Structure 1
């Protein structure tokens, strides 16, 4: 039973702004009372209980900051209680206490997430030191998490919000706009010739161009508008309540402002050119349709000539061309599904950065067109999703990988990508289970990868899928982390084994301090959640060594090896 709560509100010597709550869990009345008294002296509001079961019930009803817990108790022990609370959205800090002052118990506690370890009988100096260190570590983790979340929402070069955050805010704006209200509009601004500037004057010059363009655009938007760096050389703006004619006028003004920027690069006077594409929102229009229309308009503007502006209209023929391309791809996919020999799997090694050995391979789908040229895999997947074939493609990929995994060298495993739309397919689940059983495959050799966006699209379906497959012994990786929703709650909720940092954070790692901060933060956060970090796009030794120094477990990229088919 509970011994009650201390009502006195004192503070620790480092003057925390408010009293923190603590729970003492111990079946010994003497140790329970001693722990309570010491924590009260440190400024905690303390509750005590006599068992792990009682503590678990209390922790389910209220938030506790710190748990001082005996390891060995009748019924639920301290380590079991620690494990049971790790699934909570904001679990408490655990400090474990035991009569057994040995390394085995200490290591077991710390590996399972405890913030500290104390030997009994408790002594005030040791307790105060351990609590102070635990609070400091917790504060550091919270700061790292906030920094990582900020960096995940922000473009590190320009300081503007990134595509994911722009899309999130835009979706909320569209949702909140009444059906009879004046429409808003999206305008995409592409800096023409940025690749030429990068090649001629260096990437730092291209970065300077983007920073100055971002600064000028920031002066042209109202507080109610949105502005983001949408991709490498494209900025996105959203204007509230602007009709079609005014959007075109606004686009002309923006083009003139950007093109008026005069810069000197390596002694050369350089002026900018832009291409703009826009689209006005209509009643009940979703974010995907609006952005697609703006993107189509930008595509048309780029096709015509430089310095062109295009505002989407229903008369645009881009839909027909896009549909024609998709239908051609669709025919290739259907033919390949009828003859799986046309579907080729290439395998790229993922390297343990400590040992230098191959950990496993990522399987990558390759499809060739009628002329033998490789198709764009992203476009193939997009077409399959649009026309409802993605489930069949995922199944074909899984089958090919399971058939070939035994041929991978040194008993290594394979990471198989799955699309978000296949996750809720119970037939795919059953197909995976049946195939692995029929082929007698060691499930620990199989890793499934989900992109961040796909993983968070339908949490309940993904949770069910992950639990079902992990019950077989397979593992999961969260791919492309940092470019989507980047929610640490979902990472913990879905119990992934690996977190793959998006290559955009790795490509310029040695030259970009912000990328370095992000990677370091993600390594620390992943360690808290028990995930191993994989870095993509590792292209050189300097990057590989820097990642190893940061504590990143695995690397993948052309530095280690290109995707290759298995030898015949």
Structure 2
């Protein structure tokens, strides 16, 4: 085919508007090259006719807008003579505005562009106008509802029929999914390069020592002499008609703690050792004196009425105590003493007496059997339930994940945090049946929920050493036909890992299945950097102790920023726990934290029957995000 035939074929073809626009841009480039050659004094070896082969009387902006409409792209047009700006219905939807509901303006446009990206967008526009060439840029748009989207835009100068620039048109597309996929590929690439496959004190509601800190105090006093350890448990005899929400439970716990501290000896050390369980460490005392104090505390709790709730209803309590004697030089650990005292108050409740007194710690084999019986009874009696807490993606300002939380039902049938219960289960190697229960019920829940959601599930560090865990996860994922990329397994940094090699096998096996791995309570223990070095961790959850006072704590700010920078360099995402305010959210977003979790995002809510698929249909009401954000999970 010769040149004449090619030109004849081109003349017969009906060009699309987009092809015509591209031809005009090519013609402008030829013109520019021609002008530069003439200015430089170069001889042209051939004649160049800077003529537009697709020249028509149609408006260039209209042609480009029509081509963008066919490609389902949004357009923004600016005319220099009038300063008028307009955008298409498709662009209104990309910007998060219903078509026809707002008046386009330059100020509104740049209000919607993310503040960090706005200077770059302006530079790109000025460069396109100055050079009269097509430029492209990707930037973030913050929609009126607070969500963030990524937009890729081509910016080109409009030329009138006198070949003079008279405006700018931008052709944009929502590329959020593509951008997030690119970021995830980059993160996984960094993670593959950096992951090596070799081998606090006080409860905020009551002001009492937490269980770990209280156990430390018990251990310290054991080395200094004899004494007694008392654990008192209190349960409401009557509940307000509105029930007890989390705030009411905190107020009740604080009131009970006040009574316990007032009646106990001034030198006694008090701690919150579990939900509704209060420890009293009586140092250098006789058993008779300790028994008198214990009985006085129980009588005071039973005789006191507590005003709880918005309706100021009165709540009365029943209480039981377990008292155990310890001596200087005993081999019994502080944990063992706590278990003995807790077993003693449960015995008192079963026998319907106020107090059970142990003159000496229990034998190790008896203690183990008692703990195992308690755990097996809880599993057999279905004394567990699941809650879900939303997790906010800080870059998108959307709830994209849920953490599945275990709750243990107390004597009144109320769900309580399981920390003390799980502590006992881990110590006596009975945690695997509990983890299996959680995994089975969570996977069933996920199978009936939306396939677009992501779920984080807690697994004990001790269970990671169980050779059957990985096989069980593989079987249950296959049985429920779950997309494994929807699931992240969380292990606690301070958890006791029974077998490091088997735990590594599980971590790598989980990744092979397609699930992700997260490290919880990051920074609270001593194995942090070892785990990051040797385990293929995808997500790190920064311990709440570094977050809840970060606005006023310079050390916490420095530590969190260093954690984030380090994890980003290793290809690991970060999440912050215990986020309680919008100011904390803003600070974390500035630091580059990926996810946030806490009451400022949303409180844990019961998930109910898995077959109701509550995780997929329920709405989460989330405060502290520049107003109230209501969003369907997933």
> TM-score interval w.r.t. the shorter chain?
0.3 to 0.5
Give the TM-score taking structure 2 as reference length.
Answer: 0.44
The structure whose residues are more often helix, as a share, is 1
**Larger Rg computed on CA atoms:** 2
With the length of structure 1 as denominator, give the TM-score of the two structures.
Answer: 0.48
